[in-house]
Structure 1
């Protein structure tokens, strides 16, 4: 598995990972209506493509196929962190996390933080994050529970 920076032209592939992970993995902790609001069947692809370009993520690649992606912003915020639903529990997230941590240290970012789903909470805890607070966030017409988690570097 190789970890590298995202390349323009990979936006749709990353969105498919986002969509399918939420629809097949996060469904274990969220209702059908909640995942439909979080990962809608119809979305403005131009908006999605620009969002992915803006977050400038790392991608995990196995045999020429992207199997996960994650980003870290200049203030330490992890906006997206998704692993392909067929590659869960195979070290993809750990490898992506190492890349985020290395970038944070290199840029002098004092801590990393994210709004973490119920599903991802155990992974983030295993990576040394602690829960700062539980949150209810509005996504479309739904309320979703997540956690603000922080890890000091």
Structure 2
């Protein structure tokens, strides 16, 4: 699917929040209980997105002038990769990851880590990431994965 990927601006924060919460409610809810989804939603309010944008490189994918996906790079950690459910499976997430990988290479990073949800594990495997370990935050399982960029 044709999309434009660019750095996010503060004007995108509300749309990023909506995409993230929609993905959590419709996709991640298959793998996590409602309490975990509710806790995660709080972490992605518009205000929280504004704070995250000051700490990370945040990117968005835009289709027809609408933000449909987001991903960010926080040092050597890929974070907050979310695609609007109606756009999942169309290659947008992979396009975002190509941009994330390019930004990491520009920063001379050799290794990237990602704290993956259960829902996204197969996506990251398809992008060349390998499982390192599981981490648990109460009843929330996160799969820590890594990928070597420069070989």
Q: In 1, Cα distance between the equivalents of 2:35 and 2:97?
A: 30
1:90 matched residue in structure 2: 90
Change (3 A) 1:65 1:44: closer
Q: Where does structure 1 differ by over 6 angstroms across 4 or more consecutive aligned residues? A: none
In the alignment, structure 1 residue 106 sits paired with structure 2 residue 114: no
Post-superposition Cα deviations, 1:44-96, rounded to whole Å, max 9, x if no partner, equal 6434422234323111011101110111123x101211111111101110000
The TM-score, its normalising length taken from structure 1, stands at 0.89
1:13 matched residue in structure 2: 15
**Contact 2:112–2:147 (CA under 8 A) maintained in structure 1:** yes
Q: In 2, Cα distance between the equivalents of 1:113 and 1:43?
A: 20
The TM-score, its normalising length taken from structure 2, stands at 0.90
> Structure 1: where are the runs of 5+ without partners?
none
Change (3 A) 1:82 1:44: closer
1:57 matched residue in structure 2: 58
In the alignment, structure 1 residue 152 sits paired with structure 2 residue 130: no
**Contact 2:17–2:44 (CA under 8 A) maintained in structure 1:** no
> Structure 2: where are the runs of 5+ without partners?
none
Change (3 A) 1:106 1:81: same
